[in-house]
Structure 1
């Protein structure tokens, strides 16, 4: 796999020393690592704990403080803290990264761009993933250095009725992105993209504000969405093998000692392996829990869904200048 150790950073542009990441007390380096999920069982927390354990066990005098939602439950808060120095390592999604001006990231969030987990891993851990890491670093002016690619599972439909064909989506109020390529895709299927905050989605499903939603098993089952009338039918559409970005402030990273840099990169690699394994394990466990709780799961022919996705992928890739990377991803299927 490709991790931070093989990525070449742009030259350091300096920056003032901030509250976190300072050295002191015998050159002790304190790293504040944060994600936006509050559940201690969430794969994000498992991955961050692996990062902490590996970094602190190295002979580099590092202390890692993990925050599970306590520095902010929105990615915008976390990234702002990363830029200002109040956090050193954070986890973000493609949707938010594209809002920072790095639109190329959208490539990893397009519906059906990945065929399965093996395909996803071969892409993010290979040449395409390395190219994207360099783009993140360059376009952020070294504010963001990618340490590794995490997963948030494979996303499926869940709603008030099972999907037997695409026609079942016609007119359905569907909680998903309401703008951009993802929204365009679901509109093409006949659904009506509808915005509901994640923390309000259980109530939205329960009260019929939306007819359906989409996410991976660990996330929507932990929130009991499958226990609502509008969430108990799960159709395994597998439309998004999700990518999450583990970032560190690149300017501060450049000022760490060689031993500290290596310890952080080793910790990132350990966190990637642990978090991905935890996602895979929880996918199976929470699917079984959903079934045990009375949810109904069915499969569907994904080919018609993929056919609609392809021209949307082409259009968006051309808009953001990554048509060559899209072609490489397709060649790797």
Structure 2
């Protein structure tokens, strides 16, 4: 009798274990479900500051989620926040430092305030002359060097996972310009970087700071005469529909760099397999973010024209006059921060 009971108990335990492992679980991944027999072992929260789902950042982050959940067979779960954790880059950075966000997209400029002035090399105007030139630089020796610089200067608190872009920035304002002489005396909303302000001041303009969310009103009410940004971003905000945003002059002064960042110490604490999943997903996300940016350039420009925007094409601009202001600023920056070799890396891959 005891022998029979023991056999029954053992049989029940075996059947119970089989039942626990035979049922696949369903893990949500964007629009598609990932079927897996594995439990989630890593939760990641990724964020950017743009609320539009059409923004290239959104496409890139969504691709990261899709890719890592697929290649990890559901062992990694990603939550994407499209501007819902704050539209301020500094706020997102603070949340990443506190551990409540795993990965963010941010402009390089914020690092100057935390003791990495070398990062402002990305803010130098007319540093790159095409998207192809930009890619060769950031995907080559220059990009690798800057990753190491950031790692060393921040004690690995910031790890550059890859380089994203926010397209190429142009002037837009209450009247068209073709040379620096045309902007003399006009106020222009610019980024807060010192080298950016220096450029526009030497061009004769009056740089001013206006929060991105308040710029539409500032242009509408004449608080500022002009601004500068890429077609996609100012089109999505309807800046070109304002009285002081109607005229777009293709200065092409800044092929922008955005940093996809993670806490390097957190990354190093992960298993080699988990790091591999992240690296592979980041690569796929970067390809998507860049391609969407390039595709949206032409689409956004056409939308601006259809909405009544008046364009002065790049070919009709006196670009040489603008670069004559920019090159000495680049050289002074490189000398001040002992970055001549980095500047040479960029110039040599044109």
TM-score normalised by structure 2 residue count:
0.86
- Equivalent pair of 1:50/1:271 in contact (CA under 8 Å): yes
- Equivalent pair of 2:40/2:77 in contact (CA under 8 Å): no
Structure 2 unaligned blocks of 5 or more:
1-37
1:111 corresponds to which residue?
125
- The whole-number CA distance in structure 2 between the counterparts of 1:183 and 1:171 is 14
Query: Match of 2:53, SS?
Result: coil
2:56 is equivalent to residue 43 of structure 1:
yes
2:311 is equivalent to residue 297 of structure 1:
yes
- Relative CO higher for 1 or 2, CA cutoff 8 Å, sep ≥ 6? 1
- The whole-number CA distance in structure 2 between the counterparts of 1:53 and 1:97 is 30
1:326 corresponds to which residue?
343
- The whole-number CA distance in structure 1 between the counterparts of 2:192 and 2:179 is 22
Query: Match of 2:248, SS?
Result: strand
2:27 corresponds to which residue?
none
Q: Against the structure 1 CA distance between its residues 286 and 27, is the aligned structure 2 distance closer, same or farther, given a 3 Å change threshold?
A: closer
Number of equivalences: 309
Question: Of the two, which has the highest radius of gyration?
Answer: 2
* Residues 114-158 of structure 1: per-residue CA shift (max 9 Å, x gap): 011110000000000000011111111111111110000000000
- The whole-number CA distance in structure 2 between the counterparts of 1:57 and 1:97 is 33
1:71-220 counterparts in 2 under 5 A? 71-177=85-191, 180-220=194-234
- The whole-number CA distance in structure 2 between the counterparts of 1:256 and 1:177 is 36
| Deviation of 1:59 (Å) | 2.6
| Deviation of 1:318 (Å) | 1.9
More deviation, 117-126/245-254:
245-254
Which structure shows the bigger proportion of residues in helix conformation? 2
2:65 corresponds to which residue?
52
* Residues 290-323 of structure 1: per-residue CA shift (max 9 Å, x gap): 0000101112121110011011111112222212
Query: Match of 1:316, SS?
Result: helix
Structure 1 unaligned blocks of 5 or more:
1-24
2:324 corresponds to which residue?
307
- Equivalent pair of 1:92/1:244 in contact (CA under 8 Å): yes
After superposition, the CA RMSD in angstroms is: 1.3
- The whole-number CA distance in structure 1 between the counterparts of 2:129 and 2:72 is 41
TM-score normalised by structure 1 residue count:
0.90
| Deviation of 1:208 (Å) | 0.6
2:257 is equivalent to residue 240 of structure 1:
no
- The whole-number CA distance in structure 1 between the counterparts of 2:213 and 2:338 is 34
More deviation, 320-329/150-159:
320-329
Query: Match of 2:169, SS?
Result: strand
2:281 is equivalent to residue 267 of structure 1:
yes
1:1-80 counterparts in 2 under 5 A? 26=39, 28-59=41-72, 61-80=75-94
1:230 corresponds to which residue?
244
Query: Match of 2:250, SS?
Result: strand
- The whole-number CA distance in structure 1 between the counterparts of 2:170 and 2:330 is 19
